[in-house]
Structure 1
Amino acid sequence: MAEIGGIRCGCRGVSGGTFFHPGGFSCFLEQRATRNRNFFRNVSYVPSFKRGRLITKRSSVAGNSRIFSMDAREKSRSFVLVSSRHKKVPVYVMMPIDTFGIDASGCPIIKRLKALTVSLKALKLAGVHGVAVEVWWGIVERFCPLEFKWSLYEELFRLISEAGLKLHVSLCFHSNMHLFGGKGGISLPLWIREIGDVNKDIYYRDKNGFSNNDYLTLGVDQLPLFGGRTAVQCYEDFMLSFSTKFEPYFGNVIEEIGVGLGPSGELRYPAHPSGDGRWKFPGIGEFQCHDKYMMENLMTVASQEGKPQWGSRDPPSAGCYNSFPSGVPFFEEGHDNFLSDYGRFFLEWYSGKLICHADAILAKAADVLRRRQEEEKRSVMLVAKIGGIYWWYKTSSHPAELTAGYYNTALRDGYDPVASVLSRHGAALHIPCLDMADCETPEKYLCSPEGLLRQIHDVSKKRTIQVTGGNTSERFDQMGLRQIRENCVQPNGETVRSFTFFRLNEKIFRVENWNNFVPFIRQMSADV
């Protein structure tokens, strides 16, 4: 078990990689000198910048524009993956955002139960494969540590099963209160919030001191701040309780289990907080590492590197939430930019912490599922979700991805380390924005959802993992549904493992929308 800055890291050492060393920064330090000498080895181009784009004068000798991706040495240990060639694409419809509410006494309830029952029957008649349900930490373990109350989900799962629908379950360790302006939604457990009232550093914090209480900072993953438990132990106890309660559903009703890894359940930092007015599209976002636990770790690692001055803060010339890349020195040609020794050091640390976070939680989730499935011979797919950060994708630095924690640039494949961790734990990769096309995005913001999807498909094939997906925007129009279909089915006949439609609400049953939605479901259910 490697040590990173005095905090025990759950990573088991992702193989290969020029930059990424999740096994610890001792290896990172030893290889720094060699890596600096070989930074442009096998590369015969000289990069230059023009309005934020990377212009190359000659191509790589290796014939690969993404020269800093990790080695393909690791074989998948998945026990649930099957070929996705020439398969139907099961469609899950996500439950309404306000399925659950809090009554006057502060207790969680299922809202509009009768209407929900009718809606489930209609979805089944339309040919929908199943529904996706968010299982909230803030509902089940709401009042006291280790007191799990599953009654709401027992009732809901029974209704879904009786309707003849399958289940994709998302275990949610985040809050969605920002979607309701702080006046509704599901918070983190109340006992977690009480700890946060005393110690705000259990949450992510930006350079101006603003904290984000939608998800615990990964800086507390291995710290026993929660009644003697670490954050990872809290997540593990929740997953164990869930598997014990709903094991009879595994494999016959519950087919996929998504594990929350960050804000909105996605493996990323909350670099683009849209709910409180700090950020709006297409801002590059800000690095989120200013809680005291992350900063202590950064200082320790920088000191080990022999550069203590690198550990005092995030890059000082990285702009603000709503900056554009042009004119921001860190993301262009400035001193200590993203290609400098300092820039590479910081981005390796920042993205590496995120990978370690995923590795620790997915290891626990995979162990829980493996035990259940070996005992009962039932197959459930483990799923991890990433963010679809597609704006500024065509720039050299990919700044919006860097602030979110994906060390993905024109010179480095930042999704390969993620896919490698998922492969080791037998997890599928879920990506949103399958409803999007480049031509529908503002050209001036250098967006490319299609380029991002191609990259995800490439790394998933390399690491032998399945891909699942969803839509980012609510789409009922024929063009949007056609784009989803095209993104779900590759030209070679390979398909995504499943698709989650966001989301169930009254709009879906309007005549004009329903008349588009039902044929879409029938097409997705037909053999490719």
Structure 2
Amino acid sequence: MDDREKSRSTILESSRQKRVPLYVMMPVDTFGIDASGSPRIRKIKALTVSLKALKLAGVHGIAVEVWWGIVERFSPLAYNWSLYEKLFQLISQMGLKLHVALSFHSNRRTSSSGSGGVSLPLWILEIGEHNKDIYYQDQNGFSNDAYLTLGVDQIPVFCGRTAIQCYEDFMFSFFNKFDSFIGNVIEEISVGLGPSGELRYPAHPFGDGRWEFPGIGEFQCYDKYMMEDLRMAAAQEGKPQWGDKGPQNAGYYNSLPSGVPFFGEGEEGFLSDYGRFFLEWYSGRLIQHADAILAKAANMLKKYQENKRTTVILVAKIGGIHWWYWTFSHPAELTSGYYNTAYRDGYDPIALMLSRHGAALHISCLEMLDSETSPAYLCSPEGLLEQIRTVSKKRTIHLIGRNTNEQFDKAGLCQIYANCYHPKAVVRAFTFFRMNDKIFRVENWKNFVPFVRKMSTDLVYLET
């Protein structure tokens, strides 16, 4: 039996009897910056009380974002893990496990405090002040400093290092520092692959006024590094004219699909020779980006996974882009980098890549119903989840679930439970998004605790 067959056997065996561990993600404002500019843990006493309450409720573990912009904040290769040493020790002492999210993005625009949150490392921002092309750019030249463009993955513009080398060095330092925790306290390690930690382009920027739901978004390939790559790909295709720019008929952030030629089925649309070429390139580069980073992480995890006394799994997140799902072109997914249409399964190549690294696929939307949004937007979180279940089963990879929005009512929690224990694919774990004051309010806590207890019940599930 080869390694792939062993992996498949393990996954199928584990799916016959399943308990879904529930992790609760730390508050978005867990970390603050003190007067000296150094990061600190905010409200440590209140956090300690909250962790005790969650443990008593039956929560399995805590999901913690480990920010690049905190640990390597001031200068290259100068890692300060003291904040996380303290936090991990506290969580461990409570008897809780850890899902660690290595976060190479910024959450400044998505944090509840608006201008607060965690930026990319300060020395990265300094480089960005002189070279805006280290960030993704849209067709109008607006850059997004939430994550580095994949165009610099192999370009040594970061004090002699490429972006991939920066990520690799950070992960190597993390594994060295928390060696004794990995596989014992730390059971899941997700690696950030894009904005919000998800494998996607920032096609729908939140918080800066450019995009609003249900806009189709814009392609993000206009930094000079990605444009050079596009020119090379077009030349290899024998169509150098295709490398001058991205699609010029693909609308704008808040366009709707109707009337946007590229997302129609005409001669200038996504089904044209040019459309297929561009979308193959755009989505393919995203998969190559994830492949390169996950290969580094998987290699570092190997020794822990070979040790039968420890349990740890590699995780990759994708975005739950569910609006316009019932159109032929799936425009919101295409601009995000998922070449998923009515004629092509865009998630299967991602699942295949994850299977090579033994990585689980982390997907949100588990609390959502199609009926919760206007029929005019042709949304289908349920259809998206069904497609993800199908490809995960085909490629024998684990699924990990998460809710997109706060959910405390019984109906929403029941929907999460139903999706976690779906007959077609039971998730390996679920991350509740996220811990805050609301969760402990009496009216919410009385729903949340029974939900946790129910999730913690052993169930028998037989493959059909």
Distance 2:308 2:48 in 1: 30
Q: Tell me how far apart the structure 2 counterparts of residues 526 and 218 of structure 1 sit (CA, whole Å).
A: 42
* Map of 1:221 onto structure 2: 153
Cα distance between partner residues in 2 of 1:128 and 1:178:
29
User: How far apart are 1:372 and its partner, in Å?
Assistant: 4.0
Q: Once the 2 structures are TM-superposed, how far is the Cα of residue 307 of structure 1 from its aligned partner? A: 1.1
Structure 2 CA distance for partners of 1:349 and 1:77, relative to 1, 3 Å = farther
Deviation (angstroms), 1:335: 3.2
Equivalent residue number for residue 409 of structure 1:
341
Aligned position for 1:129 = 60
Alignment counterpart, residue 167 of structure 2, candidates 235, 251, 254: 235
For 2:313, the aligned partner's letter is M
Q: Is the 8 A contact 2:202 2:336 kept in 1?
A: yes
Matches within 5 A, 1:349-360: 349-360=281-292
**2:313 corresponds to which of 381, 392, 407:** 381
1:78/1:426 contact within 8 Å kept: no
- Offset of residue 280 of structure 1: 0.5
CA contact (8 A) 1:77 1:424 kept: no
What is the aligned partner in structure 2 of residue 100 from structure 1?
A: 31
The Cα of 1:313 is off from its aligned counterpart by: 1.0
TM superposition shift of 1:378: 2.2
* Greater alpha carbon shift after TM alignment, 179-188 vs 198-207: 179-188
What CA distance in whole angstroms lies between the structure 2 residues aligned with 1:175 and 1:450? 29
The 2-side partners of 1:231 and 1:454 are apart by 34
Amino acid at match of 1:246: F
**Aligned counterpart, 1:109:** 40
After superposition, the C-alpha distances for 1:275-309 in whole angstroms (9 at most, x for unaligned) are 10100000000000000000011011111211111
**Equivalent in the alignment of 2:245:** 313
Residue 120 (str. 1) matches residue 51 (str. 2)? yes
SS of 1:169's equivalent in the other structure is: strand
Q: 1:168 aligns with which of 80, 99, 103?
A: 99
| Residues 310-343 of structure 1: CA deviation (Å, up to 9, x unaligned) | 1111111100000110110110134321001000
Q: Secondary structure at the match of 2:66?
A: strand
Does residue 204 (structure 1) correspond to residue 136 (structure 2)? The answer is: yes
Are 1:156 and 2:121 an aligned pair? no
Q: Secondary structure at the match of 1:185?
A: coil
Cα pair distance change 1:385/1:522, threshold 3 Å: same
Match among 186, 191, 195 for residue 118 of structure 2: 186
Range with greater deviation from structure 2 (377-386 or 343-352): 377-386
Q: Does 1:363 align with 2:295?
A: yes
SS at match of 1:174: coil
Kept after mapping to 1: 8 A contact 2:190/2:315: yes
Deviation of 1:80 (Å): 7.9
Matches of 2:120 and 2:240, distance apart in 1: 35
SS at match of 1:248: coil
Deviations 1:391-443 (A, max 9, x none): 00000000000000000000000000000010000000000010001111221
What is the CA distance between 1:160 and its match in structure 2?
0.3
Query: What's the offset of the Cα at 1:84?
Result: 2.3
One-letter amino acid of the structure 2 residue matched with residue 131 of structure 1: I
Q: Secondary structure at the match of 1:212?
A: strand
Given that residues 77 and 423 in structure 1 are in contact (C-alpha distance below 8 angstroms), is that contact kept between their aligned partners in structure 2?
no
Secondary structure (helix, strand or coil) at the match of 2:98 reads strand
Contact 1:80 1:381 in 2 (8 A): no
Report matched runs for 1:13-52 at 5 Å.
Answer: none
**CA positional deviation for 1:377:** 4.8
Query: C-alpha deviations, 1:160-186, integer Å up to 9, x for none?
Result: 001110100000000000124762110
> Residue 338 of structure 1 aligns with which residue?
270
State the Cα deviation string for residues 362-385 of structure 1 (Å, max 9, x = none): 000000111344468522110000
After TM superposition, what 4+ stretches of structure 1 lie above 4 angstroms from structure 2? 74-82
SS at match of 1:379: coil
SS at match of 2:36: coil
The aligned counterpart of 2:14 is 83
- Contact residue 75 and residue 423 of structure 1 kept, 8 A: no
Q: Name the CA distance, whole Å, in 2 between partners of 1:455 and 1:521.
A: 27
Which segment is superposed worse, 349-358 or 246-255? 246-255
Give the stretch that moved more between structures: 494-503 or 278-287.
494-503
Contact 1:140/1:150, CA 8 A, preserved across alignment: yes
Is the alpha carbon distance of 1:76 and 1:236 closer, same or farther for their aligned partners in structure 2, counting shifts above 3 Å? farther
Compute the displacement of 1:77 (Å).
5.6
Query: Which residue is equivalent to 2:179?
Result: 247
SS state at 2:426 partner: coil
Match of 1:518 among 442, 446, 449: 449
Q: Distance in 2 between matches of 1:513 and 1:229?
A: 48
User: Against the structure 1 CA distance between its residues 373 and 75, is the aligned structure 2 distance closer, same or farther, given a 3 Å change threshold?
Assistant: closer
Match of 1:278 in 2: 210
CA distance in 2, matches of 1:80, 1:259: 23
Q: Is 1:291 the counterpart of 2:223 in the alignment?
A: yes
CA distance in 1 between counterparts of 2:265 and 2:53 reads 56
Give the SS at the match of 1:355.
helix
Q: Which amino acid aligns with 1:504?
A: M
| Cα distance between partner residues in 2 of 1:290 and 1:186 | 25
Asked if 2 retains the 8 angstrom alpha-carbon contact of 1:192 and 1:226, the reply is: yes
1:439 pairs with one of 371, 387, 396: 371
Distance 1:272 1:161 in 2: 37
Residues 196-240 of structure 1: per-residue CA shift (max 9 Å, x gap):
111110000000000000000000001111111110011011101
Q: In 2, distance between residues paired with 1:246 and 1:289? A: 36
Q: Secondary structure at the match of 2:55?
A: helix
Give the distance between the partners of 1:222 and 1:411, measured in 2 at CA.
33
Aligned identity (percent) is: 72
SS across alignment from 1:360: helix
